[in-house]
Amino acid sequence: MAQNTIAKGPGDLAPFWMPFTANKQFKANPRLLKSAKGMHYQSVDDRPILDGTAGLWCCNAGHGRTKITEAVQRQIEELDFAPTFQMGHPLPFEFAKRLSEMTPPGLDRVFFTNSGSESADTALKIALQYHRLRGEGQRTRFIGREKGYHGVGFGGISVGGLGNNRKGFGPLLPGVDHLPHTLNIERNAFTRGLPEADMSLADRLEEIVALHGADTIAAVIVEPMAGSAGVILPPKGYLQRLREICTRHGILLIFDEVITGFGRLGSPFASQEFDVIPDILTSAKGLTNGAIPMGAVFVQNAIYDQFMGAGGPAIELFHGYTYSGHPVAAAAGLATLEIYQSEGLLTRAAELAGHWEDALHSLKELNHIIDIRNYGLVGAIELQSRPGAPGARAFDVFTKAFEMGALIRVTGDVIALSPPLIIERDQIDQLVRIVADAISATE
């Protein structure tokens, strides 16, 4: 029997082409995790690592949850897989019903995917066909936003606004335009919570509509809070203004809540936190607490009804995935919802937000910090870039923090923090102390 060398040390790391990773750099000095429980990972050299990122924005209920483990074990023994193309099994119907009871009003129809990337591309396709069914097939244009992240499908990177995610892959989807991002450090540095209103950023949508014509635009897609670009918050009233403009021009509004969904900002969804209801909402990550890959797209009833209106036996949407509504993923999702609801985790970020905010902003006077941003249980610490080496300073902080016993995330020179919602106040203090020490130890 082959020995599992990876469990004991680096072994041969070459075969795995790692995603979003500097592979040569990592494999020369790997950081490997072997187990997890509660708020902590365990490294292969048996050090506890405090999780400051909920895995990758996904393990909102912490790690090693017995209820999820047992649900997955039972389900995989009973029914490991069943098709959902012209067939079905009970769990995704039950899961969709439970989800529809917690989503914003009217978003009661659920299309299951396997990831946030698939959710984004699914939402875009639904938007296109919806307009075609209404007799407005000329609405084919999408409006994304600079610094937006909507996964890595061709649709998602087309409407996304992160240059490195786009520039290596050709012309992408035609007819896509972008709103300006909402980050303004010069004006809003060290703001606690949402920055003050700047309606000019939302009103740029009117200029784009005037340029292209409202009757050519299918949808606007934005993250209520941009996570992957470094925690970029919407100014007060910004999302409401986008909603007003989209409604006025018959344009669908899509919220990408892959990161903000399931309690991250203090409400089940950011759309509820900010009191703005989109036409389509995408999710993944916290949907199953990261235990089994799964995503979901929530659509307004009126959109679903438009697809169903033709009647007859024909397939209404020629789209889907082999694993849409996978039984084991649905079982994990149902168990996750039970944990969220029984432990009050979907609103716990609101309870901890004040302590979290104070802890993060206590770092304001440290060297190299040019901004701190926070909302709910998410935060960003932006560092001054080294001349000619953007991202290098934050990466050094990332590696030092790991050596000191905490997992954080960096995007460029932004340190992003989003711990599991089960975190306690003393663990918040510990996490921020480690970040402070790592920053102080970095030139």
Q: Once rounded to an integer, what is the mean pLDDT over residues 255-259?
A: 98
Please say whether the beta carbons of 202 and 238 come within 8 A: yes
Average pLDDT, rounded, for the chain: 96
Beta-carbon contacts of 87 under 8 Å, excluding residues fewer than 6 positions away, are none
**pLDDT over 50 at 9, yes or no:** no
User: pLDDT per residue over 95-107, tens digit each?
Assistant: 999 999 999 999 9
**pLDDT over 90 at 11, yes or no:** no
User: pLDDT per residue over 209-236, tens digit each?
Assistant: 999 999 999 999 999 999 999 999 999 9
Confidence grade of residue 4 (pLDDT, cut at 50, 70, 90)? very low
Place of tokens 């306690």: 424
Confidence grade of residue 189 (pLDDT, cut at 50, 70, 90)? very high
Question: What tokens appear for 67 in the block?
Answer: 């209820």
Domain boundaries along the sequence of the chain: 5-60+345-440, 69-342
Confidence grade of residue 273 (pLDDT, cut at 50, 70, 90)? very high
Predicted confidence at residue 35, as pLDDT, reads: 98
Predicted confidence at residue 312, as pLDDT, reads: 72
Predicted confidence at residue 7, as pLDDT, reads: 45
d(CA 309, CA 302): 10
Predicted confidence at residue 418, as pLDDT, reads: 98
- State the architecture of 69-342 in CATH terms: 3-Layer(aba) Sandwich (3.40)
Predicted confidence at residue 10, as pLDDT, reads: 53
Under CATH, which number does the domain 5-60+345-440 receive? 3.90.1150.10
**pLDDT over 70 at 2, yes or no:** no
d(CA 336, CA 4): 31
User: pLDDT per residue over 148-168, tens digit each?
Assistant: 999 999 999 999 999 999 999
User: pLDDT per residue over 284-323, tens digit each?
Assistant: 999 999 999 999 999 999 999 999 986 678 999 999 999 9
Predicted confidence at residue 310, as pLDDT, reads: 67
Cβ-based burial of 90 (10 A; exposed 0-12, middle 13-18, buried ≥19): exposed
Q: Once rounded to an integer, what is the mean pLDDT over residues 235-252?
A: 98
User: pLDDT per residue over 30-67, tens digit each?
Assistant: 999 999 999 999 999 999 999 999 999 999 999 999 99
Q: Once rounded to an integer, what is the mean pLDDT over residues 179-198?
A: 96
| Alpha-carbon distances of 175 from 88, 155, 222, rounded to whole Å | 37, 12, 17
Query: Which one-letter amino acid corresponds to residue 118?
Result: E
Is pTM beyond 0.85 here? yes
Q: Nearest 5°: CA angle at 432, between 161 and 44? A: 85
Percent of the chain with pLDDT over 70: 97
